[in-house]
Amino acid sequence: MLNYRKKFIIVISLLFSMLILFACSEEESTTESSTSGSNTLATIIDRGELVCGVNDNLTGFGVINSAGEFEGFDIDYCKAVAAAILGDSSKVEYVPLTASARFEALAAEEIDILIRNTTWTASRDRDLGNDFTAPTFYDGQGMMVKASSGYDSIESMAGATVCVLQGTTTELNLDDRFTGSGIAYTPLTFETNDPLQAAYEEGRCDGWTTDKSGLASKRAGFSNPSDHVVLAETLSKEPLGPLTRDNDSELYDVVQWVVFGMMQAEESGISSSNVSSMAANPTDPGMARLLGVGFDGGEPTDFGFGIPVDFMQNVISQVGNYGEVYDKHLVPLGLTREGSLNAQWTEGGLIYAPPFR
Amino acid sequence: MLSHLYNQIKSQSSISEKLEVLRNDKSFRKFFVQFIFAIFMAFFLFYLITRAFSLELGFGHLTSRAGFGISHTFLVDYTSNNSRWDAYFTGVINTIRVSLVGIILATILGVLMGLARLSKNFLVNRIAAGYVEFIRNTPLLVQIIFWQLVLLQLPQISNALTFGGISVWSNRGILLPFINTIQNGSLWVLVLLIGLVISLVIRSYSSKYKEENVNFISPNILSLITFLIIALAGYFILGIDLYTDVPVLEVNQYGTYIQSGGFALTPEFAAILFALVLYTGTFITEIVRGSIQSLPKGQTEAAQALGLSNYQRITLIILPQALRSIIPPLTNQYLNLTKNSSLSVAIAYPDVFMVSRTIMNNAGHALPMLSLILITFLCLSLVISLFMNLLNKRVTRIGA
């Protein structure tokens, strides 16, 4: 009898839970759809903090300095976005991510934006459900070898072992270049940089391939940088930039135009040192629109980003323009701008902002 | 009983009295708590399932070209032109390889150290105790990285040790001379394995038969003959041509040192293997020691009284009885070792987890890939459990 009652209770409770499940399924699905098209910008403003996925181990782009703070080119873009949205570049929570974990973290809404020297590719844009805003740095994949090895080209590396980071486009470009040209090689794929660097230094692999900026950064960190050379050949195009989730247009637009705004500020000659005087007294209507102030007593132009109209003033005064950020973090690594793709378009580079109009 | 409760409720006039009856009924209270819990669980599961279905499911992307190289391929010929399924399968083989070798070596190490812990020889005893106390439960990841860094201290390839041309030792790998075949090598190994299983089955059945027919041919000889027939048949049918594969170190025209041939022990494979064996070995040591110590002392004394040697005492009396309590916890350790092999992702050994992560990064579809990894590990675990349960059944048979 007791057994019967137990069974009865179990069946009843299961039935009830099924009933409630079906009754609520409609309500559930409506909440589903509202979260999938979420507005991360509103979330950031409510939270009062930007959660930014970054690198913590790449000097110049994203690294923890001796004071325990994040610094670098990508970190400054996190700060710029925080300055634009929240008016304070320090309101950022940095989440260090490995190359292979970064897209999962973005998709799972652990972070608001990902600024982690990430290459813009078609499959990442579409398949992985990301939206790339705009390239902040035009990179290309390179190959670092020991100077004593005598390698001068990829062709001369037949039979070599190459260390590469897992889950990167680098791994695929490497294979395209070697297998595509019929050059035998062995890839040695690491998940993080530290064991990879140890393996390279100990001669476990003949070459180390990643973005040239990354190689310059790592080479600068060696005790004797001149023992290592980065081969002249560029294996691939690597446009790096911030990205947001798909269907997150409000935040996407803000990040994109902060990037463009910093480029435009450099082109217009606005820097962190003169932004306040320029804002008080803009020299032309274009500058006034960029800084969100009225020209000649007129009303400031509101582009409708959902953040203060003078957001670029905060960005430039607290972080700086594109050239300032570049000079601060990347020039010390030996990545000169002159003649590279990262020069302003007026000087033959690709740094080009659409008009603020 | 429900009808009883119903009658009770019916007999009360006001609502508050009816509620009072419900509140005081023990079985209803229990039911109510469980009911609330069931609702919460149902909601939670429903939420998870709807979230899962909102992501894209399916394995279609696995048929595309992989496009990335894998440093360790074993038994299979994988190139970047193969499909992602092939890459995944290469990873599975690598996981099985390190787990299988690890299980065998960890068992040998564990049994030897377990016996050593019980040795009356002070030095042997202390060495085994030191091994267990030092290595047991230091983080496995740290041990793996430690071994990798140690193995990288071997000479660089340009200064590799060659021992007069029979072996190559460098931090690219330790190459040992090896008997190899020109073609169908892995098929023949498979045939040999099948032959081994068949001959063991024949041995088991024929020894039962011999118990009744004393004049029957010795089971050992019968199984050996079976094995040899299968091996030789495979040898001729598959056209096996054995040769001694001596490793070579050469320099190509661009000045790149290349080592090839022989049996290769790469630093990555060796590091994960050493770490797994040493780590799991400590636990097996303690399992063996505990099981032997749990046997009554009379067993040892009886063996000594019968005049058995130490070796006979351990192999005929102690270990067979200890096995009954060794095998269940030993199975856990085997499962742990297999699972822990996925930590090799830290040191560039391309196991199934590492290859899957690369695929996930290239193509997305994280959820199907993770499910596939879970199913793969589940299959490995179930196979290990199956074998160990069969073994357990055998050793727990009374009078076996």
Do B164 and B20 share a structural domain? no
Do B283 and B146 share a structural domain? yes
- Could you tell me if residue B377 is inside a domain? yes
Residue B101: which CATH number?
Answer: 1.10.3720.10
Do B159 and B99 share a structural domain? yes
- Kindly state the average pLDDT of the residues A300-323: 93
Quick: pLDDT tens for B100-136. Answer: 999 999 999 999 999 999 988 999 999 999 999 999 9
In angstroms, the CA B280 to CA B337 distance is: 7
Do B10 and B132 share a structural domain? no
- Would you state the pLDDT for residue A250? 93
Instruction: Decide which of A99 and A264 is more confident.
Output: A264
Residue B366 C-alpha, separation from nearest chain A C-alpha, in angstroms: 8
- Could you tell me if residue B72 is inside a domain? no
Binned at pLDDT 50, 70 and 90, residue A34 comes out as: very low
- Could you tell me if residue B210 is inside a domain? no
Binned at pLDDT 50, 70 and 90, residue A29 comes out as: very low
Do B164 and B46 share a structural domain? no
- Kindly state the average pLDDT of the residues B175-182: 80
Instruction: Please give the order of strands across the beta sheet that includes A70-71.
Output: A57-58, A62-64, A70-71
- Could you tell me if residue B355 is inside a domain? yes
Which of B25, B80, B248 would you mutate first to test chain A, the one with the most A CBs within 10 A?
B80
In the predicted structure, residue A21 carries a pLDDT above the cut 60: no
- Kindly state the average pLDDT of the residues A233-261: 93
> Which of A9-18, A32-41, A170-179, B74-83 has the lowest average pLDDT?
A32-41
Indicate yes or no: CB of B171 within 8 angstroms of CB of A186: no
- Would you state the pLDDT for residue A32? 38
Residue A202: closest C-alpha in chain B:
B152
In angstroms, the CA B373 to CA B356 distance is: 8
Q: Which residues on A lie below 8 Å from B158 (Cβ)?
A: 203
Quick: pLDDT tens for A250-296. Answer: 999 999 999 999 999 999 999 999 999 999 989 888 899 999 998 88
In the predicted structure, residue A26 carries a pLDDT above the cut 60: no
Do B379 and B323 share a structural domain? yes
Do B349 and B281 share a structural domain? yes
Q: Which residues on A lie below 8 Å from B145 (Cβ)?
A: 195
- Could you tell me if residue B63 is inside a domain? no
In the predicted structure, residue A36 carries a pLDDT above the cut 60: no
> Average pLDDT over chain A, rounded to whole?
87
> Which of A5-19, A127-141, A299-313 has the lowest average pLDDT?
A5-19
Do B163 and B274 share a structural domain? yes
Indicate yes or no: CB of A176 within 8 angstroms of CB of B67: yes
- Could you tell me if residue B264 is inside a domain? yes
Nearest to A204 among B42, B172, B364 (CB): B172
Quick: pLDDT tens for B301-338. Answer: 999 999 999 889 888 888 888 998 999 999 999 999 99
Nearest to A188 among B43, B256, B348 (CB): B348
Do B7 and B154 share a structural domain? no
Binned at pLDDT 50, 70 and 90, residue A2 comes out as: low
In angstroms, the CA A239 to CA A338 distance is: 18
Q: Which of B28, B52, B76 is the last residue before a domain boundary?
A: B52
- Could you tell me if residue B304 is inside a domain? yes
Binned at pLDDT 50, 70 and 90, residue B16 comes out as: confident
In the predicted structure, residue B64 carries a pLDDT above the cut 50: yes
Instruction: Decide which of A321 and B240 is more confident.
Output: A321
Residue A3 C-alpha, separation from nearest chain B C-alpha, in angstroms: 11
Cβ-contact A285, A295 below 8 angstroms: yes
- Would you state the pLDDT for residue B396? 82
Do B383 and B295 share a structural domain? yes
- Beta strands in chain A, from DSSP E residues, in sequence order: 50-54, 57-58, 62-64, 70-71, 92-96, 113-114, 130-132, 137-146, 160-165, 185-190, 207-211, 228-230, 237-240, 243-245
Cβ-contact A39, A176 below 8 angstroms: no
Q: Which helix (H) or strand (E) holds B92?
A: helix B84-117
Residue A34 C-alpha, separation from nearest chain B C-alpha, in angstroms: 13
| Residue of A66, A72, A50 lying closest to A325 (CA atoms) | A72
* Interfacial A residues in 174-233 facing B (CB < 8 Å): 174-176, 178-179, 185-192, 195-196, 198-199, 202-204, 206
For residue B332, give its domain range: 84-182+241-397
Number of domains in chain B: 2
- Could you tell me if residue B187 is inside a domain? no
Q: Which residues on B lie below 8 Å from A103 (Cβ)?
A: 361, 364
Residue A131, strand partner residues: A244
Indicate yes or no: CB of B354 within 8 angstroms of CB of A191: yes
Indicate yes or no: CB of B357 within 8 angstroms of CB of A100: yes
Do B257 and B387 share a structural domain? yes
Do B159 and B32 share a structural domain? no
Indicate yes or no: CB of A123 within 8 angstroms of CB of B254: no
Binned at pLDDT 50, 70 and 90, residue B179 comes out as: confident
Q: Which residue is it, tokens 């040892």?
A: B300
Q: Which residues on B lie below 8 Å from A127 (Cβ)?
A: 363-365
